[in-house]
Amino acid sequence: MKVTIEFTGVAKSITKENKIVLDILQGSTYQDLVRLLASKFPGLIGVLIAPDGETFLSSNMFVINGDLAFPAMIMGNSPSNGERIHLMSVITGG
């Protein structure tokens, strides 16, 4: 099964990629994708991905086929074949 991960902003700066296509096993979860991204791009850890390499730091999320997906709600779900997933970092501050 294939999914496309798209990068912009700080994620693009760290990965040096616009997008990548990943071959994943049927039944893989979004948390598995975060683990895979942490493994493939260790520079994301501590910036977008938590030090555990399994979850996002706050204000980071996937946009799945154009729909915002908050990590707490989807991490145990499985992506669909052909899905386009944008790694988004929402910058906040005061």
Domains with residue ranges and CATH for the chain = 2-89 (3.10.20.30)
pLDDT at position 74 is 84
**What is the C-alpha separation between 4 and 40, in angstroms, rounded?**
14
Q: Under DSSP, is residue 87 helix (H, G, I), strand (E, B) or coil?
A: strand
pLDDT for residue 93 is more than 60: no
Residues 21-58 pLDDT 10s: 999 999 999 999 999 999 999 999 999 999 999 988 87
User: Do 29 and 36 form a contact (C-beta atoms < 8 A)?
Assistant: no
pLDDT at position 40 is 97
**Average pLDDT over the chain, rounded to an integer:** 89
**What is the C-alpha separation between 78 and 32, in angstroms, rounded?**
9
Please provide the distance, in angstroms rounded to a whole number, between the alpha carbons at the two ends of the chain. Answer: 42
pLDDT for residue 73 is more than 90: no
Closest CA to 85 of 52, 51, 36: 36
